[in-house]
Amino acid sequence: MPAESSDPGAREMATTRGMVSVAMATYNGAEFVTEQIASILPQLAPGDEIVIVDDASTDDTLEVISRIDDPRIRLVTRDVNWGYVRTFEQALGLARGEYLFLCDQDDVWIPGRVDLMVAALADHQVIASNLASLGGPNRIPGPFWIKDWRLWSRDSGHAIRNLLRLLAGVQCYWGCAMAVRRDALDYLLPFPRFLNETHDQWIGLCGNMARSMGHMNSRTVWRRVHDSNLTPTQPRGVIPALRSRVMLIRCLAVAWSRGLHLVGSRKQR
């Protein structure tokens, strides 16, 4: 195993900012996961961690990850495929840090991401940033009427507006560009049992209901677009879109039952 960093700045960062955990879900990600991890490790302090939960990959993902010799990587394997939502839920539950970053297996982190988002988490329990296309335009196109899925810091305090836009499908949170403080896990976990997609929208919904959702102007992740992306890049059609809206409404009911509307009221006093 490599020796702990001798960089005084890295040691100071590890003791002053709190531990960072990266929660990554993998499934048949051998092709790109090494590049993703290589973009993360330089941003972490010696005491941080990457918690990787592999969802019963059938390729050589486990072998590829095991070849990365770094003590900060914690690899957890499953024999049965549960799907990415449950995989992220497990990774978040296993994470030990004060600041938890969600992470896909095939993107690339932009340098400085960790420092920017940890600073933003000082004032918010949940923070969401923006994406750029890896090797492409500095934007993420949405449906034909949206040239760039984009969040703005000026909207951080507009919880009701954000919720309405989320339910209407005109605002999008990207899990791979989000981070949460540990105290947010009190209401984020467990994920609703019926939730089988868009765990990131659940996190954004809860953060807004708790009045502790922060938006960042910065783009912090280069998103790799390829044929195996789980998040669609084009509109999915009327029926799938309606199903997604119904699921979010059910999520809203669960968040209400967990008292997040009361959390928001206390924060406003």
Domain of 48, in residue numbers: 8-268
pLDDT at residue 244, as a whole number: 87
pLDDT attached to residue 3: 30
Tell me whether residue 1 is in a domain. Answer: no
The residue behind tokens 């004060």 is 98
Residue 243: the pLDDT is 85
| 101: CATH | 3.90.550.10
Separation of alpha carbons 143 and 44, rounded Å: 35
pLDDT at residue 65, as a whole number: 98
pLDDT score of 261: 85
Measure the CA–CA gap between 258 and 184, rounded to whole angstroms: 12
In a domain, 227, yes or no: yes
Residue 146 lies in a domain: yes
Q: How far is CA 69 from CA 19, 43, 101, 168, 209, in A?
A: 20, 16, 21, 45, 41
CA-to-CA distance for 45 and 41, rounded, in angstroms? 8
Assess if residue 64 is contained within a domain: yes
Residue at 59 is within a domain? yes
- The number of CA neighbours under 13 Å toward the Cβ of 256 is 7
Which run of H or of E encompasses 178? strand 178-181
Tell me the pLDDT of the chain (269 aa) as tens digits.
233 333 444 444 555 899 999 999 999 999 999 999 999 999 999 999 999 999 999 999 999 999 999 999 999 999 999 999 999 999 999 999 999 999 999 999 999 999 999 999 999 999 999 999 998 777 776 665 566 779 999 999 999 999 999 998 888 899 999 999 999 999 999 999 999 999 999 999 999 999 999 999 999 999 998 665 455 445 556 687 788 889 999 999 999 999 998 876 556 54
Residues 102, 88 contacting (CB under 8 angstroms)? yes
> Residue 254's pLDDT is what?
97
Q: How many domains does the chain have?
A: 1
| pLDDT score of 139 | 73
Distances (CA, A) of 202 to 22, 90, 254: 19, 15, 10
Tokens standing for 123? 């004032």
Whether residue 35 is contained in a domain is answered as yes
Residue 2 lies in a domain: no
pLDDT number for residue 242: 83
Residue 136 lies in a domain: yes
pLDDT at 16: 80
Q: Residue 204's pLDDT is what?
A: 97
